[in-house]
Chains A and B, each alone.
Chain A
Amino acid sequence: MSPVYRWVDHAAEIELSIEAPSEEAVFAEALAALAELLTERSSSRGEGERVTREVIASAPDRPTLLAEWIGELAYLAESDGVVPESLERFELGPNALEASVAGPRAWPPHLVKAVTYHRLEMGEEGATWRARVILDV
């Protein structure tokens, strides 16, 4: 199957729903989804010096690791102005990940306040990995 993500809009927050053929693809889709969210809101789409940044995250379980990953990408956007567009390297371990994330320093608006634990899920159903993360925006 092709990985897919969709945004589900609630009154005060945004829900990200992902389906993918592998765990790694879930994390890649999360990056793509965040890039779309930040780019839509940015007045300088795609502009800015293209850079690569190292991202490290750790957590005792997969759902929390996914939340940590998105949180690190959101922090990268806020603190360093990088819209995370592509993965140059991605290593997923049992309780941690390391990645090289590339994208333009487009300084998007500070849209994502936080990644919540509310209804946080990531798990395998047959051949499909499914995940749900709710962001405070």
Chain B
Amino acid sequence: MTALRQLDETLWEIPADARADMRVPARIFSDEGLLAAIRDDRSLEQLQNVATLPGVVDAALAMPDIHQGYGFPVGGLAATEPPEGVVSPGGVGYDINCGVRLLVAPFEAAELGDRKESLVHEISRAAPAGAGREAALRLTGAELDRVMREGPSALLDLRGVGREDDVERTESRGRLAGADPGTVSERARRRGLGQLGTVGSGNHFIEVQRVERVFDPAGAEAYGLEPGRVTVLIHSGSRGFGHQVCTDYVKRMDEALPGFEFTLPDRQLACAPLSSTEARDYLGAMAAAANFAWANRAAIAHAVRDATRSVLGASAADGVRQVYDVAHNVAKLETHGDRELCVHRKGATRAFPPGHPEIPADYRAVGQPVFIPGSMGTSSFVLAGRQGAMARSFGTTCHGAGRRMSRTAARREIDGAELRQRLEADGITVRCPSTRGLTEEAPFAYKDVERVVEVVERAGLAARVAQLRPIGVVKG
């Protein structure tokens, strides 16, 4: 069993000398209870593997929602320093820029009343899961190139999808610089052309919520979150486009590894020095996929507005405002202190503090919004980034509750019909065509989100602004 040393009330460490190949320590933000579950899977071993990457600085880090992944653990974070520090596609994940977008409506849940069911139904029709041929938006090749380069602002210009203020309130304004369509394979392009505007399956969803509680009145006011207001949380990513980009570059870097002067403890950590052609090409393709994902969430948000229009009228739809959009699978070149670093966030969210210039002007006094979805049927949380994140975690916090149970185990625990009944009894309207998919995402399959959020708050990474309670969920 790996020996963990407690550094403070929310931080544990596996020292760098625990294994000969570790270059830095491995550190985990957690509490005693969450740590007991973390020790049960391979996530700590995987975090130690991350600590072996060439050019990794300070520590390989994990958030309290960490669980076993492949290569990097999910909830893992590592920064590497150019030019010989590496970039690892596995440190971003297959679903490049999987992330979360929060919208707030101009009406309250109480006003919605009986129309809630219609709204959830219309959202499920307007934003397809994406199985089969049901793309919401079909782009031409040239349009896809622009979306890859420019993200949602291209979609706005080309098709009138989204709004300018949505783009302003998106991490990186929905566009990572350096996106290069020439580094994206033909197969990735084909997959992307058929899937823009689709949610996906698995743990992707659209959730209709109400603001249940405000912890930080100033932050909630800045974000536009009043108690009782209806919100809509969209969880989706780059779909098959991003999956293919990651597949392509894991393969390419795996093949190139013999030419580099290092070995890896796990093939899935395939990587290349940031100064290499392989790394530059990957960053160009990853940026294209990230921009595609932001455009995807923009298209889904557009569909939510369409659904709102059809149930509640134009004025209500026009009043739906984007709070923010965050990525939780991405690698970004960022400045931390006096260092330019490649920060890999795999199941982790950027959390910049008050005053940071990258935050939209109307949020700068309170900090960058962070969204922590709970599992289906449990609360989600809105947080604001804090200075502690810059000091301790390269400006990063957790991304969600994290699974604690396999899909098979979850299906054994509860019958799909029973789960639907429980959710409906809790006032949650459910649209999910797959009973199996529903049971696999049952609330008990995930860690306690309130506990995860409490840890990041105590650690100084982010602070709670509001709690959102689900009233409807759409799943693929």
Q: Counting CB contacts under 8 A, is B183 at the interface?
A: no
* B120-142 interface with A by 8 A CB criterion: 129-133
For this complex, 14 residue pairs linking A to B, each with C-beta atoms less than 8 Å apart, are A12-B68, A14-B407, A107-B133, A108-B131, A109-B434, A110-B195, A111-B201, A113-B240, A114-B94, A114-B243, A114-B246, A116-B70, A118-B268, A137-B202
Which residues of B lie under 8 Å from residue A119 when comparing CB positions? 70, 266
* A63-119 interface with B by 8 A CB criterion: 64, 71, 75, 78-79, 81, 107-111, 113-119
B268, A117: Cβ atoms closer than 8 Å? yes
CB distance from A67 to the nearest CB of B (A): 9
Q: Counting CB contacts under 8 A, is A34 at the interface?
A: no
B131, A120: Cβ atoms closer than 8 Å? no
Bound CA span A11–B187, Å: 29
**Closest 7 CB pairs between A and B?**
A118-B70, A107-B132, A9-B406, A9-B408, A117-B267, A118-B268, A11-B403
A41, B94: Cβ atoms closer than 8 Å? no
Bound CA span A108–B267, Å: 30
Q: Counting CB contacts under 8 A, is B41 at the interface?
A: yes
Bound CA span A11–B402, Å: 9
Bound CA span A43–B434, Å: 8
Which residues of A lie under 8 Å from residue B71 when comparing CB positions? 116, 118
Name the interface size band of chain B.
35 or more
CB distance from A20 to the nearest CB of B (A): 23
Given contacts A9-B406, A40-B436, contact A113 B69 (CB under 8 A): no
Which residues of B lie under 8 Å from residue A64 when comparing CB positions? 254
Q: Counting CB contacts under 8 A, is B409 at the interface?
A: yes
B131, A13: Cβ atoms closer than 8 Å? no
CB distance from A11 to the nearest CB of B (A): 4
**Which of B94, B239, B436 contacts A136 (CB under 8 A)?**
B94
Q: Counting CB contacts under 8 A, is B224 at the interface?
A: no
Q: Interface residues, chain B, CB within 8 Å of chain A?
A: 41, 67-71, 74, 94-95, 129-133, 187, 190-191, 194-195, 200-202, 239-240, 243, 246-247, 250, 254-255, 266-268, 270, 403-409, 433-434, 436-437, 476
Residue from A7, A114, A120, A137 with most neighbouring chain B CB atoms (10 Å) = A114
CB distance from A61 to the nearest CB of B (A): 11
A12, B67: Cβ atoms closer than 8 Å? yes
Which residues of A lie under 8 Å from residue B67 when comparing CB positions? 11-12
**Which of B129, B250, B406, B436 contacts A11 (CB under 8 A)?**
B406
Bound CA span A6–B267, Å: 23
**Which of B70, B129, B436, B476 contacts A13 (CB under 8 A)?**
B70
A107, B131: Cβ atoms closer than 8 Å? yes
Bound CA span A78–B250, Å: 20
Q: Output the nearest chain A residue to B239 by Cβ-Cβ distance.
A: A110
CB distance from B414 to the nearest CB of A (A): 16
CB distance from B472 to the nearest CB of A (A): 21
Which residues of B lie under 8 Å from residue A26 when comparing CB positions? none
Bound CA span A12–B410, Å: 12
Which residues of B lie under 8 Å from residue A110 when comparing CB positions? 130-131, 195, 200-201, 239-240
A78, B270: Cβ atoms closer than 8 Å? no
A41, B434: Cβ atoms closer than 8 Å? yes
Q: Output the nearest chain B residue to A134 by Cβ-Cβ distance.
A: B70
Which residues of B lie under 8 Å from residue A43 when comparing CB positions? 433-434
CB distance from B128 to the nearest CB of A (A): 11
Given contacts A12-B69, A109-B476, A113-B243, contact A118 B131 (CB under 8 A): no
Q: Output the nearest chain A residue to B407 by Cβ-Cβ distance.
A: A9
Bound CA span A54–B71, Å: 32
CB distance from B92 to the nearest CB of A (A): 12
Q: Output the nearest chain B residue to A108 by Cβ-Cβ distance.
A: B131
B408, A113: Cβ atoms closer than 8 Å? no
CB distance from B266 to the nearest CB of A (A): 6
B68, A78: Cβ atoms closer than 8 Å? no
CB distance from B368 to the nearest CB of A (A): 26
Which residues of A lie under 8 Å from residue B195 when comparing CB positions? 110
**Which of A7, A11, A114, A136 contacts B404 (CB under 8 A)?**
A11
Which residues of A lie under 8 Å from residue B267 when comparing CB positions? 117-118, 120
B94, A118: Cβ atoms closer than 8 Å? no
CB distance from A65 to the nearest CB of B (A): 12
A10, B68: Cβ atoms closer than 8 Å? yes
CB distance from B55 to the nearest CB of A (A): 21
Residue from B131, B246, B434 with most neighbouring chain A CB atoms (10 Å) = B131
Bound CA span A40–B194, Å: 24
Q: Output the nearest chain A residue to B187 by Cβ-Cβ distance.
A: A75
Bound CA span A92–B266, Å: 27
Q: Output the nearest chain A residue to B40 by Cβ-Cβ distance.
A: A11
Bound CA span A76–B403, Å: 29
A9, B409: Cβ atoms closer than 8 Å? yes
CB distance from B76 to the nearest CB of A (A): 12
Q: When each residue 7-28 of chain A gets 1 if its CB lies under 8 Å from chain B and 0 otherwise, what string results?
A: 1011111100000000000000
Q: Output the nearest chain B residue to A78 by Cβ-Cβ distance.
A: B240
Bound CA span A9–B243, Å: 21
Q: When each residue 29-70 of chain A gets 1 if its CB lies under 8 Å from chain B and 0 otherwise, what string results?
A: 000000000001101000000000000000010001000000
